[in-house]
Amino acid sequence: MPSSEFTADLTETLCVESTPSPCGLVIFGASGDLTSRKLMPSLFRLFQRNLLPDNFFVLGFARSPLGTHGFRERIRKDLSEQSAATPQTVENFCEQTYYLPGSYDDPALYQELKKWLRDLDTRHDTQGNVVFYLSTPPRVYGAVAENLAEAGLLQQGGQKTSWRRLVAEKPFGHDLDSARQLNASIAKCLAEEQIYRIDHYLGKETVQNILMLRFANAIFEPLWNRHYIDHVQITAAETIGVGLRAGYYDTSGALRDMFQNHMLQLLALVGMEPPSSFEANHVRDEKRKLLQCIRPFCPQDVEQHVVRGQYLAGEVEDQQVRAYRDEDKIGQDSETETFVAARFMLDNWRWRGVPFYLRSGKRLNERRTDISIAFKPVPHSIFNPLLPEHLAVNILTLNVQPLEGIALRLQAKRPGPKLCMSTLDMAFSYHDVFGDHPPDAYERLLLDVMLGDQTLFIRRDNSETQWSILMPILDYWQKAGSARENAGLTFYPAGSWGPQAAQELIQKDNRMWLNSND
């Protein structure tokens, strides 16, 4: 068989999706924004792609007195605004949705929920399989799990003929102690294999592609180390402010909101060693090992290698916007950071001496998340009079959002004189190649929960390790904040790339941030 035919057949085989076994999905907090904006539209797209089991139902559970009729009306409205589906397709989907109003801390309601699940299981023949999705404030996670357990709703069938799984949204804890307490509370009710701590970044196509790019291509893995890579940059920039999340954000800040989960997970995927197989625990084992290699921050390290900022008034996308302290529900003396830049060092054989620069913030110049791997410069230039420092370094960039893709920056000859060199970007866009935008991250993650695949979810030890990395920074800021003159908070105008201190952080190492217009 010619190799081209073999490749085509193999590719087609590897692109087959699996359909989950029959199951029901109970969404706690079903009247909230996440359900309307992400969960129901993602489930509907899975329904359109025939990736939901035929025997399936969604049961919304929340305090709002919607009822099934009101819940379906809301779904119809949300889907009509977000998709071009036919009314009949929407109606077929809505017929599999229900709603039960109640309080999360009322044990009697869980007995009512138990009756509903029994009836819906009979009606839809879901074989006792249920996913419980916690789209609620994290402070009630433990109470919901305990009430579910007391009502006997987390028990799996004999010989595992039926299963029960629980999905928890971020933030998973406010600090290391609260994360440990929350983990311990849930662990009393479920086994770790039943718990899915969700980080929606891990469902993005480009993030999933990191492992395939590294471990399925012989040209990259031999270069993926301190001998060839100069440094790594990870940027998660937003143009929006706090919006409707002010109450949560002002008690959280950028370090807890972005670094504890998204940013450290991206770092782990870039830096981890090859797992023995593409199996959930093998992948998560290697991520844990990598996270444990991050050099701990002492107070002096925080001063020198971490920058925290807060946005002032400015112009974003041609519109004047308010300062953070002028946002609704934000105090005039708030010390909450809306921007963090930090230099991480990894103490292991592969990455010794290679800095990882991470930055994330709100009200920045543009919305984008990407990972840039900057390779070392050539050691010698044969192109006189060009010196090695005149040649731009090779950069591999993984664009996570908004336009997912991959780009590789090279030096190449331009047409014309014999010595005429230019920087060339070889770029791959998911939209250009496949003709459509990749599926939403929640589609991938919801499907994986139903399939029982935990590869893209956070394991307990990983979650607590991530908190332990950041606690010295949080503790230092808390102590410094009590002495106002040493709080260390810097300011930046909205629409910029953050405070000047962030530029100085990387310039001290004779490097510069890579922005999309560079």
Q: Which of 227, 262, 305, 437 is catalytic?
A: 262
Longest dimension (CA), the chain: 82
How far is Cα 6 from Cα 457, in angstroms, rounded to an integer?
Answer: 33
* Structure tokens that stand for 415 in this block: 């047409």
CA-to-CA distance for 211 and 277, rounded, in angstroms?
11
Instruction: Check: CB of residue 444 under 8 Å from CB of residue 203.
Output: yes
Q: Three-state SS for 496?
A: strand
Please calculate the CA angle 73-75-76 and round it to the nearest 5 degrees.
65
Please state, in angstroms and rounded to a whole number, the distance separating the CA atoms of residues 82 and 89.
14
Q: How far apart, in Å, are the Cα atoms of 286 and each of 205, 234, 269, 463?
A: 20, 20, 9, 14
Closest CA to 516 of 395, 366, 412, 400: 366
**How big is the chain, counted in residues?**
518
- Ranges assigned E (strand) in 102-162: 130-134
Q: What is the DSSP letter of 202?
A: G
Helix (H) or strand (E) holding 423: strand 421-429
Question: How far apart are alpha carbons 259 and 359 in whole angstroms?
Answer: 9
Q: Catalytic site residue 262?
A: yes
Cα separations in angstroms, 296 against 67, 374, 472, 473:
51, 24, 8, 10
Strand arrangement of the beta sheet that strand 164-168 belongs to: 97-101, 56-62, 23-28, 130-134, 164-168, 195-197
DSSP codes joined into one string, 337-384: -SEEEEEEEB-STTTTT-EEEEEEESSBSS-EEEEEEEEPPPS---ST
Contacts with 198 (C-beta within 8 Å, 6 or more apart), sequence order: 167, 168, 169, 170, 445, 457, 458
Residue whose entry in the numeric block shows the structure tokens 């009101």 = 70
Residues labelled as active-site residues: 262
